[in-house]
C-alpha cells in the first residue's frame, strides 16, 4: 500500500504526470473468469483492442500479444465482438 504524501510533497495544483501516477490493479474486479486468447484462431482484426474499456488488450505492433490481467475487469466485450471465437472466458488461473 503506497504511503500517502504529506502536503509539502504535493505538486502545485495537484498536477499528476502519467509516470508518477499509481494505477490500482482493477483486474481484481473480475468475478467470473478471464478472457483467454486462442492465438491459432486470432486474425488480428483488432476489434477487441478497440472495444476494451480498460485498454487491456496488448499489441506488439499491430499484432495481438496478450491481455493485461492487471487491468482487465472481465466485462466480456472482447469475447462478444471477436469474429472468430479466439477469445474465450476461462476460469481464473490458480
Partner 1 sequence: MSRLKTMVRNQHGVQPLRGGHALCQGCGIPMVVRTVLSTIDRPAVVVNATGCLEVATTRYPTTAWNVPWLHVAFENAAAVASGIDAAQAALRRRHALPADTEVAVVVFAGDGGTYDIGLQALSGALERGHRFLFVCYDNEAYMNTGVQRSGATPFAASTTTSPAGLESFGKAQQRKDMTAIAVAHHLPYVAQAASTYWHDLSVKVERAAAVDGPAFLNVLTDCPLGWGHEPRQAPHVIAAAVESCFWPLYEVVDGRYALTYEPQDVLPIERWLEGQKRFAHLLRPESEELRNEIQLTVDREWAGLRARCAADAKGARP
Partner 2 sequence: MIAAEPQLLTGGEAVAHALRQIEPDVVPVYPITPQTPIIQTFSSMVADGQAHTAIVNVESEHSAMSAAIGSALAGARTATATSSQGLALMAEVVYIAASMRAPIVMAVGNRALSGPINIHCDHSDSMLVRDSGVIQLFAESAQDAYDLTVMAPRIAEHPDVMLPVLVCQDGFTITHAAEPVTLLRDEEVRTFVGPYELPQPALDARHPATRGPFAMPDYYFEFRRAQAAALEIALDVIMDVAHRFELLSGRRVGPYEGYRLHGADHVIVALGSSAGTVKDVVDELRHDGENVGLLELHAFRPFPARDVVRLLGGVRDVIVLDRADSPGGAPPLAAEVAFALRGSDALVRSHVYGLGGRDLHPEAVRDVFRGRASHYIGVRDGDECPA
Q: Is 91 in the site for partner 2 (CB under 8 A)?
A: no
Q: Is 71 in the site for partner 1 (CB under 8 A)?
A: yes
- Our measurement of the distance from residue 13's CA atom to the centroid of its chain's CA atoms, rounded to an integer in Å, reads 29
Cα separation of 44 and 82, whole Å? 10
- Choosing from 1, 3, 17, 62, the residue that interacts with partner 2 (CB under 8 A) is 17
Nearer to partner 2, 7 or 91 (CB): 7
Report the alpha-carbon distance of residue 34 to residue 13 in Å, rounded: 39
Provide the binding-site residues for partner 2, judged by CB under 8 A. Answer: 4-8, 10, 12-18, 21
Amino acid at each position: 500500500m503506497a504511503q500517502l504524501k504529506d502536503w509539502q510533497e504535493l505538486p502545485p495544483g495537484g498536477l499528476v504526470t502519467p509516470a508518477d501516477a499509481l494505477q490500482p490493479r482493477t483486474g481484481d474486479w473480475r468475478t467470473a473468469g478471464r478472457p483467454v486468447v486462442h492465438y491459432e484462431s486470432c486474425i488480428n482484426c483488432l476489434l477487441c483492442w478497440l472495444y476494451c474499456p480498460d485498454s487491456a488488450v496488448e499489441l506488439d505492433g499491430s499484432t495481438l500479444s496478450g491481455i493485461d490481467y492487471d487491468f482487465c475487469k472481465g466485462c466480456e466485450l472482447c469475447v462478444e465482438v471477436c469474429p472468430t471465437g479466439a477469445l474465450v472466458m476461462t476460469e481464473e488461473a490458480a
